[in-house]
């Protein structure tokens, strides 16, 4: 038997999931990875990987009985060719080639030997799907082995094999044909000195795509530059003719890397992070007023209304904390970048926060959070992140306000992009002016309203 690897030790650790999101239901038929019916192909690919893991498990048992094929042992067992067998799964029958073994009894008569691993697989209907779902939903290696009646080392080997293939699949996708309009960059902690930075793109049709990720000890400018360099090497086309909107948190490292690769990109700072930073510097008695003014800023449309809402917020903060007001004033360009594009406010909920990529990070933690000890001498981090991101991408939907993305493209100066009829309207009919006291989060259906008590819901950098 093969010895147990470090992945099993990691899988056996108990972990309380931090994934508090509502589970997405259904699979999207839209092409999330540049090909049609990605979710179906993704499932089919995973089943193929599990199939290869089971064949490897059969071969291990044959070798333990008969010895290596090039050096047969003096055992009473011998290899007797192979046969095609059918294994039932929840997705239908699977036809695989299985080795045959024969044993010579003391009286000289040979009899067929039924492999224990094959017997267990045959006994359980849908084992492929059980292994797939159990491992990707955080089950421990020992738990899966006991559930399916196979060895823990076999589970570990199968997991390592398919996670490596999934990583290769994730990073080999063609992204050169993506017409990227917006990008969100964020990171997730995997330990005290381990950080993974992820890039998510939004195309002209409003579809989301997880592009790639980069490992590092922190969210430094060099780590983010490494991520962008890999995207360019894979053919991502972003430049003057295809100007980009980048939504980020308050990280100066990300801003520096964006300026290095795409100097003309518009950088919008996440207003949820801005709100949390202000609440951290002000008394709890003032949090309600800050949230109200931030909701107003998130709801108004256009540069003029945005400037008015921002000045109202700035004056309130200045009367409470001078240092907080100075910090807010220094970040005005990032806070009002999207408003200054003068696009319909129906897109505010999408591009004024990093919620889309934050949700990916929460889902990813539901997978990688099971691991409590990482092996830096292997590709363990990359394999787990590749699987986690592919799982997170399964529930992607088109972004809100996708019908008005032509207006955003035109505002970014892209040639051939005609704005919609909403562009000529000074403001949506249901939105109040900046001078009123609105309850905007309810009127246009914001998916987020920050609760100042939920400090762990969204990462702070």
What DSSP string runs through 81-145? EEEEEEEEETTEEEEEEEEEEEEE-TTS-EEEE--HHHHHHHHSTTHHHHHHHHHHTT--HHHHH
Q: CA dist 281 to 285, 326, 351, Å?
A: 12, 12, 25
Q: What is the model's pLDDT at position 285?
A: 93
Q: What is the model's pLDDT at position 50?
A: 67
Tens of pLDDT, residue by residue, the chain (461 residues): 444 444 444 444 433 444 433 334 334 434 444 444 555 666 666 667 667 777 787 888 888 888 887 776 777 888 888 888 776 655 556 777 778 888 888 888 888 888 877 776 665 544 555 555 666 666 666 666 666 566 667 667 767 777 888 888 888 888 888 889 999 998 888 877 788 999 999 999 999 999 999 998 888 899 999 999 999 898 888 765 678 999 998 888 999 999 999 998 999 999 999 999 999 999 999 999 999 999 999 999 999 999 999 999 999 999 999 999 999 999 999 999 999 999 999 999 999 999 999 998 888 887 787 787 888 888 888 988 888 888 888 888 899 989 999 999 999 887 556 555 444 434 433 434 444 443 333 333 333 333 333 333 333 33
Grouping H, G, I as helix, E, B as strand and the rest as coil, residue 248 is strand
Grouping H, G, I as helix, E, B as strand and the rest as coil, residue 404 is helix
Rounded CA separation 22/19 (Å): 9
Q: What is the model's pLDDT at position 340?
A: 93
Q: What is the model's pLDDT at position 122?
A: 63
pLDDT one-digit tens code per residue, 258-282 = 999 999 899 999 999 999 999 999 9
pLDDT one-digit tens code per residue, 47-57 = 676 677 777 87
H helices within 234-302, ranges in order?
A: 252-261, 271-281, 287-299
Cβ atoms of 438 and 430 closer than 8 Å: no
Q: What is the model's pLDDT at position 23?
A: 36
Closest to 411 measured CA to CA, from 343, 339, 333:
343
Closest to 156 measured CA to CA, from 170, 135, 178, 127:
135
The pTM assigned to this predicted structure is 0.62
The dihedral region occupied by 357, where left means phi > 0, alpha psi between -120 and 50, and beta the remainder, is alpha
Cβ atoms of 180 and 242 closer than 8 Å: yes
Which H or E run includes 232?
helix 221-233
Q: What is the sign, positive or negative, of the torsion defined by CA atoms of 182, 185, 186, 191?
A: positive
């Amino acid at each position: 038997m093969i010895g147990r690897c470090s992945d099993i030790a990691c899988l056996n650790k108990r972990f309380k999931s931090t994934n508090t999101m509502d589970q997405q239901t259904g699979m999207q038929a839209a092409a999330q990875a540049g090909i049609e019916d990605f979710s179906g192909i993704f499932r089919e690919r995973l089943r193929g990987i599990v199939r290869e893991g089971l064949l490897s498990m059969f071969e291990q048992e044959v070798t333990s009985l008969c010895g290596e094929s090039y050096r047969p042992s003096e055992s009473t067992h011998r290899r007797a060719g192979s046969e095609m067998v059918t294994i039932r799964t929840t997705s239908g029958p699977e036809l695989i080639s299985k080795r045959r073994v024969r044993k010579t009894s003391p009286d000289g008569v040979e009899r067929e030997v039924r492999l224990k691993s094959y017997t267990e697989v045959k006994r359980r209907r849908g084992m492929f799907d059980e292994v797939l779902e159990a491992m990707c939903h955080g089950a421990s290696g020992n738990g899966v082995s006991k559930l399916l009646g196979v060895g823990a080392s076999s589970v570990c080997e199968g997991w390592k094999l398919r996670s490596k293939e999934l990583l290769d699949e994730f990073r080999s996708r063609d992204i050169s044909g993506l017409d990227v309009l917006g990008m969100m960059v964020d990171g997730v902690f995997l330990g005290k000195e381990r950080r993974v930075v992820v890039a998510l793109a939004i195309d002209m049709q409003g579809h989301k795509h997880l592009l790639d990720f980069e490992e590092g000890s922190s969210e430094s400018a060099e780590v983010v530059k490494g991520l962008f360099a890999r995207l360019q090497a894979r053919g991502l086309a972003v430049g003057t003719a295809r100007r980009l909107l980048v939504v980020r948190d308050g990280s100066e490292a990300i801003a520096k890397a964006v300026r290095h690769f795409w100097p003309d990109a518009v950088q919008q700072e996440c207003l949820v992070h801005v709100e949390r930073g202000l609440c951290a510097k002000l008394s709890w008695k003032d949090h309600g007023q800050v949230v109200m003014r931030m909701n107003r800023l998130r709801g108004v449309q256009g540069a003029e209304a945005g400037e008015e809402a921002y000045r109202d917020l700035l004056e309130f903060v200045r009367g409470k904390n001078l240092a907080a007001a100075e910090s807010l004033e220094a970040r005005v360009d990032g806070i009002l970048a999207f408003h200054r594009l003068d696009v319909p406010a129906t897109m505010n909920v999408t591009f004024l926060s990093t919620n889309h990529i934050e949700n990916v990070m929460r889902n990813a933690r539901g997978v990688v959070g099971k691991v409590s000890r990482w092996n830096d001498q292997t590709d363990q981090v990359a394999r787990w992140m590749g699987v986690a991101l592919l799982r997170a991408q399964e529930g992607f939907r088109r972004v809100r306000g996708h019908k008005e993305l032509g207006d955003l493209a035109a505002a970014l100066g892209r040639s051939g992009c005609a704005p919609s009829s909403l562009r000529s309207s000074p403001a949506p009919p249901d939105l109040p002016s900046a001078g009123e006291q609105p309850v905007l989060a309810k009127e246009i259906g914001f998916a987020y309203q920050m609760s100042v008590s939920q400090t762990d819901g969204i990462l702070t950098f």
